[in-house]
Structure 1
Amino acid sequence: MRQRYKPWADDFLHNHQNLIIPNPGKQRGKWQKLFSENQPIHLEIGTGKGQFIVGMAKQHPDINFIGIEVAKSIVVTAGEKALEAGLDNLLLIHVDASHLLEYFAPGEISAIYLNFSDPWPKNRHEKRRLTFSAFLKQYEEVLIPKGEIIFKTDNRGLFEYSLCSFSAYGMLLEEVNLDLHVIEDPLNIMTEYEEKFSAKGQPIYRSRTSFKN
């Protein structure tokens, strides 16, 4: 995602530490204490500009949401959307998801969303894909037993790779959708990318998988 430099981003992060949580490793195992209600926590990895996670938090007030975004200028944009929405069931963190176990304790998360992740198409970059087995191992640890991963992408190659990765890991494939918008799911919240690609008639792929434990 192309980033526009925001010289005031550091000030925004400093002034909104109740929304974009600093030092998230200190909250490991204690995230529920930061929310007003004790309810399931869902995690989006790669929040982008925040349209999806803000929409989900509005649609599901009975769920607490945490969004991870590594790019500072983008997490600030998501933070602006979250502030405008005035939600008390949404938090953001500015970290790299490759170190997920540093921020979340085993069984702390109920579901994980992977939306339009970088496909890393070259074979030598396979280990960077968010559906690579090393990432799945981390997801399995932080999720509750039988916790779900909901994955959406416009990239058919990444989708096929991910289905194979899920199956090889021994996960249960509960949904495999090759054109999400044909079914017109009323509960589907679109990301910025999803709106762009679906408007061009490009199919959106979605899978829903869970761990067997």
Structure 2
Amino acid sequence: MGKNKLAKFANMEEYPHVFQYPFSLLRDKGFEMKGKWNELFFKNDHPIVLELGCGKGEYTVGLAKLFPEKNFIGVDIKGARMWTGAKQSLEDGMGNVAFLRTHIELLESFFAPGEVSEIWITFPDPQMTKVNKRMTSTRFMKMYRRILKPSGIIHLKTDSNFMFTYTSAMVEANRLPVLFCNDDLYRSDLVDKILGIKTYYEQQWIARGLTIKYIKFECQDRDEWIEPDIEIEQDSYRSYGRNNSQTLTQQAIDKKNSTK
């Protein structure tokens, strides 16, 4: 492990708004703020919004600046990435921001039923061959439903056509109310300050000529969750950091030339 990463981990241990719980501690003692985030940490009764797979925390920090009347928590297992948003929010004195380092599957260990108002899922791995690992699969939807308030809102922003198509089909199969949906966000007339926040990885996708998709829907109670039974064409590239950069660069060049 590099010295820079070790230094970031050391910083995170000192940050008062960063919570890192080893599984053994969570199993033996539980999380003392579960159900009490507003009371014990934020010291207010404002709605709580999660960014899952927050990476560098661009949405967590960006949204917290736009909405001081809400509380935002970035969740990720990658501490070195999370450090960026944690450092910025601490330096800016933002009292409505926190970061939680854990696996998404353990959310119910940290949040009580109905404690969360909204969830943002920003540029997740589409997990094209593993349905249960998709962050908008019915497996995860059941978990989100348990920690969300009634008719809590879920936002998905993605570069992946596979992920967008799958999520849209899942929403339709389960008759969830759609509040906003667009498969080419930055060519639409509906971009606002919220959707205009761009993550580090999103900027890479845009530079390579890829379109950004977004869907916002209510996560309502369902007696039975239905997985969509459809065939979806797989993306021609993998998530950023595991892709073939030469292929993506050539795609961007081809697209640019085709518009001349």
**Contact persistence 1:170–1:212 (CA under 8 A):** no
TM norm structure 2: 0.75
Counterpart selection for 1:209 from 217, 242, 246: 217
Aligned to 2:35: 29
1:41 partnered with 2:41: no
**Residue 135, structure 1, aligned to residue 155, structure 2:** no
The reply on whether 1:19 has 2:25 as its aligned counterpart is no
User: Based on CA coordinates, which of the two structures has the bigger radius of gyration?
Assistant: 2
**Relative to 1, partners in 2 of residues 1:117 and 1:4: Cα closer, same or farther, differing over 3 Å?**
farther
Preserved contact between residue 20 and residue 102 of structure 2 (Cα < 8 Å): no
Alignment of 1:45-124 (within 5 A): 45-122=52-129
Question: Who is 1:186 aligned against?
Answer: 192
Q: CA deviation at 1:152?
A: 0.5
Q: Point out where structure 2 has 5 or more consecutive residues left out of the alignment.
A: 222-260
Match of residue 181, structure 2, among 176, 179, 182: 176
Q: 2:204 aligns with which of 177, 181, 196?
A: 196
Q: CA deviation at 1:176?
A: 1.4
Unaligned 5+ runs, structure 1: none
Relative contact order, CA 8 A, sep 6+: which one is greater?
A: 1
Tell me how many residue pairs correspond in the alignment. 208
Q: For residue 68 of structure 1, give the secondary structure of its aligned residue in structure 2.
A: strand
> What are the Cα deviations for residues 5-31 of structure 1, in whole angstroms up to 9, with x where unaligned?
601233212211x21024482211001
Within 1, Cα distance between the matches of 2:108 and 2:144?
Answer: 9
The answer to whether the 8 A contact 1:140-1:211 is kept is yes
| CA–CA distance in structure 1, aligned partners of residues 44 and 80 of structure 2 | 29
Displacement of 1:84 in angstroms is 2.8
What do residues 46-91 of structure 1 show as CA deviations (whole Å, max 9, x unaligned)?
1101122111111110110011011121122221222233211000
Does structure 2 retain, via aligned residues, the 8 Å contact 1:50–1:82?
no
* 2-structure distance, mates of 1:9, 1:199: 28
Question: What is the CA distance between 1:126 and its match in structure 2?
Answer: 1.6
2:164 counterpart of 1:159: yes
Aligned-residue identity in percent: 30
Choose 199-208 or 180-189, whichever is displaced more: 180-189
Q: Give the alignment's Cα RMSD to 1 decimal.
A: 1.9
Look up the SS of the partner of 2:19 in the other structure: coil
Q: CA deviation at 1:172?
A: 1.7
Cα 1:14/1:206, change in 2 over 3 Å: same
Counterpart of 1:21 in structure 2: which amino acid? F
**In 1, Cα distance between equivalents of 2:110 and 2:205:** 32
What letter corresponds to residue 199 of structure 1 in structure 2? A
